[in-house]
Amino acid sequence: MPRSPLGLVIVAFAIPIAWFAVGYAVAADTEAFLDTPDVTGQLWFFPLHCAALRVVGTLWASRLEPSLEGLALDDRARIRIRRGALGHYASIGALVACTFFIVRDSWFGLVPGESGLIPFDDPEMWDMAELGRPVHLMMLGLWCLEWLMFGYLLWLQIWILIAWTQAMRKADLADRLDVVLVEGGYKRAFSLFGRTTTVSLVFALGNLGFIAFTGELIPREAVEIESISDFLSEMSDLLSTSMLFLLTLIAAFAFVGVLRGALKRAVSARFTAAGRGTLTALAEPLTASSDLATDVERLRVRSNAQAEVLRAVIYQREVEGAGGKAMVSMVAKALIPLVTTAIKLRKVLGI
């Protein structure tokens, strides 16, 4: 992707326009080509993919390192997380994440169904026989490219669930509580996750709009949706949207759980040490001696021990609410596509 906003806009629109022009030139029926929503909709749907990919990529490139610093992770964990979120490893992850959808569209689009026709040629399915086989193959190619861009959004959630949570399980934050908890360092990660969810929501709304535009939000009568397996095979667009946000919530809840666990262990370690120091100090009665310096030192030790216990209690209260507001916001964003999917699934299944 070009680095400049202008370059991104040019590429995002140039590719579908060029694709549209070539498709029009090779289409068996140009009038049918222009009347096909799946074709004309790509002029804005493909740029939406490019914009989502670029915004999320820029967001993670600029905010990933501060987020990892805020969690006080060691260098090894930070390098591993960075490799999986950005660069070649992220590209491989995106391909893995979208493999099901690419294989599904390619297989479903080119393999004849019960009617003996492939969905492109079947008037009861996609009804694009008039466009000709070259256009069919061009559409599959563009869909695969879009799935790959979507795969990056999906992969980031998978990577949070795998790498981020694993790093937090191993993290020892006992000496970094002030940075992670008191100074709110952990909030940088939730800010990154929350902004990513916002971009995903905009993308999901565009995806739902495209599905409605092409008439696929409610399956055609020829498409029988009688089980979850039928939903997985026949409604991949709606499935992809719901899967993205399900993974987003699962990854976020898992991360909150391991983060709070790591913070509780750190607070417990500090509280134990402080408690022992306080008991030791309280075991000695505060009696005045003839040495003023000694009395002042004893008061200082006791005050510091009691202050440390109080600090540990405050930390514990902070831990219990860590990530709470961010999770509420992410759940609210995820409800829109998830509720839409649930309503449509309930309708087609007749539940």
Residue among 96, 22, 321 at smallest CA distance from 30:
22
Distance linking the first and last C-alpha atoms of the chain: 44
Average pLDDT, the chain: 84
Phi and psi at residue 279, to the nearest 5°: -60, -40
Mean pLDDT within 162-187:
88
Q: What is the pLDDT of residues 304-332, one digit of tens each?
A: 766 777 777 777 788 888 888 888 999 99
pLDDT surpasses 60 at 231: no
SS3 state at 284: coil
- 17-49 burial by CB neighbour count: b if 16+ within 10 A, else e? eebbeebeebbeeeebbeebebbebbeebbbbb
- CA–CA separation, 2 vs 100, rounded Å? 28
344, 241 contact by CB (below 8 A): no
**Percent of the chain whose pLDDT exceeds 90:** 48
pLDDT surpasses 70 at 275: no
Residue for token digits 């021990």?
305
- CA–CA separation, 44 vs 107, rounded Å? 26
